[in-house]
Structure 1
Amino acid sequence: MRFMTNEIMDRPNDIMRNWFNDQWSNFPTFFGDNIPTTDTLKTDIKESDKNYELHVDMPAFDKKNIDINYQNNTLTISGHRDSFNDHEDKNGDMIMNERSGGRFTRQYHLPAVDENNINATYDNGVLKIILPKIEEKKNSEHHIEID
């Protein structure tokens, strides 16, 4: 059985997260960092008869700071990165500072996955995850006689 990618993604959470970020994304958080969650962990999901394949943009992450978990048909990707301080100068001449650090998490509903054979690689800021599907048992019709 194949699922459309729109049904796979965590849509209710994305709707609330996008609304919240559209309304409040220009306001700094309590600690002064503005972490743009709508621009992080952008994902492409491809589905075939044999597996799901995700490509997740995670630029400037160290792979030791990325955590991947699959439980109850849900894939959770989380990670953290430090703030960027490489362009600060003594005179305060920063014109714009959009890059930020922090903790990021995203979940995807991906049913019928062989969790023992999930494979992940991280290269050039892109996390690639292949989730093999469990072979579905074909439901054969079984006629039952009434006594």
Structure 2
Amino acid sequence: MTNEIMDRNNLMRNWFNSDNWANNFPSIFDNNFPDDSTLRTDIKETDKNYEVHVDMPAFDKKDIDINYENDILTVSGHRDSFNDHNDKNGDMIMSERSSGRFMRQYHLPAVNTDNIKATYDNGVLKVVLPKLEDKVDSGHHIDID
């Protein structure tokens, strides 16, 4: 029953984080561009549905878009710049909060698209995707005469 969900960036992320080597390089690596690690996700699968929980702190609900097409759930959104980033006195010594467009995609096959439900509460997006009751069989055994 387990659905294999691959994170294509996991290999590179682990390599870059292995010795914290990037922390010793100049600020070229501190580009403030969002990456998929910003949208941390938990996915639970039962016999009846998939349940996806996505951390999306500081997002307005109106700035979140959810789409399901061709067995792919896409969650995207955008955050505007933070007003306190403009520090005219030079007092800002560190800034890790990012703004911009964020997106994650998840392969979740055989979903009843008419009954997908989503809620957003306390910075967590919850999407429940009910599975199709009658799965379409992609293969067919053919007897040889």
Q: How has the CA–CA distance of structure 1 residues 122 and 21 changed in structure 2, closer, same or farther, with 3 Å as cutoff?
A: farther
2:124 to 112, 126, 147: 126
1:94 to 92, 104, 107: 92
For each residue in 1:25-64, what CA deviation from the matched residue of structure 2 results, as whole angstroms up to 9, or x when unmatched? 95268xxx51241431100001100000011000000010
Matched-pair identity in % = 61
Which amino acid in structure 2 is aligned with residue 54 of structure 1?
A: V
CA distance in 1, matches of 2:66, 2:49: 17
8 Å contact kept, 2:64–2:76: yes
Please state whether the residue corresponding to 1:27 is helix, strand or coil.
Answer: helix
CA distance in 1, matches of 2:102, 2:115: 25
8 Å contact kept, 2:36–2:104: no
Please state whether the residue corresponding to 2:84 is helix, strand or coil.
Answer: coil
Please state whether the residue corresponding to 2:114 is helix, strand or coil.
Answer: helix
List gaps (5 residues or longer) in structure 2.
none
Count of equivalent residues: 136
For each residue in 1:73-102, what CA deviation from the matched residue of structure 2 results, as whole angstroms up to 9, or x when unmatched? 000000000111226443111111111100
Output the TM-score relative to the length of structure 2: 0.78
Considering only aligned residues, what root-mean-square deviation do their CA atoms show, in Å? 3.0
Output the TM-score relative to the length of structure 1: 0.77
1:41 to 39, 48, 54: 39
Residue 27 of structure 1 corresponds to 28
8 Å contact kept, 1:121–1:129: yes
List gaps (5 residues or longer) in structure 1.
none
2:114 to 110, 116, 121: 116
Residue 11 of structure 1 corresponds to 7
